[in-house]
Amino acid sequence: MKREKPEKVVAEVFRDNDSFVSGKGEEFFKSHLEAQNPVITLITCSDSRVHPTVFSEELIDRVFVIRNIGNQIENCVGSVDYGVYHLQTPVLLILGHVNCGAVKAFLKGYSDETADIRKELDHLCIPVSKIKRTGSFEKDWLTAVEENVHWQVRVALERYGLLVTRGLLAILGAVYDFGNYYGRGYGRIVLINLNGIKDREKILSHRAMSLVPGELLDKVVI
């Protein structure tokens, strides 16, 4: 990986913000000056290939974003509580992704990383260490990504299960597939867990999925 010159990137930040500001106008900013009204609490990986832009162009005031290496709840639990309890988003989306470096680091060993990186990766121990190795690293890597998402949903259910039971919250566990590993097309978000449910038929018939168009439903559920 080649490190670019800081001055080049600094200029990029302000140039891009200038285009953003000119494209929006004052009214846009005034509309959400007093409060935020997000509808999704998103926990995803810090990986630069993964952004909420993969499912929404309108992120401002819509998506409350929490990111860390390996899209883990336990490293940012206060922020997740804030989105779910305080901002009352009806959806908690836990979005893992293919080729996740954090999951890979866990599988390969991470004793050479800094103490704080190790501390964050330690939480992957429960979901990732239990996977059965198949001999194909690529396959195991994707399985580990999925197991991590399932684990995060489980952690979320322990905290927010009551809201789910009352129909006030849907917890989605999904994988952003920018490598077309699921054969649903490059860049697709594939749903692998809904409120702890992993069974495809049960997910398909769940009320939370009832407004997803039929032809799309088939593609996005694992």
What does the binding site for Zn ion look like in residue numbers (CB under 5 A)? Answer: 45, 47, 100, 102
Two tokens at 187? 């860049």
Which residues does residue 214 pair with via DSSP β-bridges, in sequence order?
none
Identity of the residue, 103 or 221, whose beta carbon is nearer to Zn ion in the bound complex: 103
- The CB-of-214 to Zn ion minimum distance in angstroms stands at 31
Q: Which is nearer to Zn ion, 100 or 169 (CB)?
A: 100
CB of 139 to Zn ion, least distance (A): 17
Pairing mode, if any, of strands 170-177 and 188-194?
A: antiparallel
H/E element, 218: helix 214-220
Listed in sequence order, the DSSP H helices in 25-114 are 26-30, 77-81, 101-108
Euclidean distance between CA atoms 211 and 174, whole angstroms: 18
Name the minimum Å distance from CB 121 to Zn ion: 11
CB 45, min distance to Zn ion, A: 3
* 38 or 70: CB nearest Zn ion: 70
Least distance in Å: CB of 176 to Zn ion?
9
Query: How far is 65 from 171, CA to CA, in rounded Å?
Result: 15
Nearest to 81 by CA among 63, 66, 95: 66
CB closer to Zn ion, 65 vs 197: 65
Nearest CB to Zn ion, comparing residues 43 and 170: 43
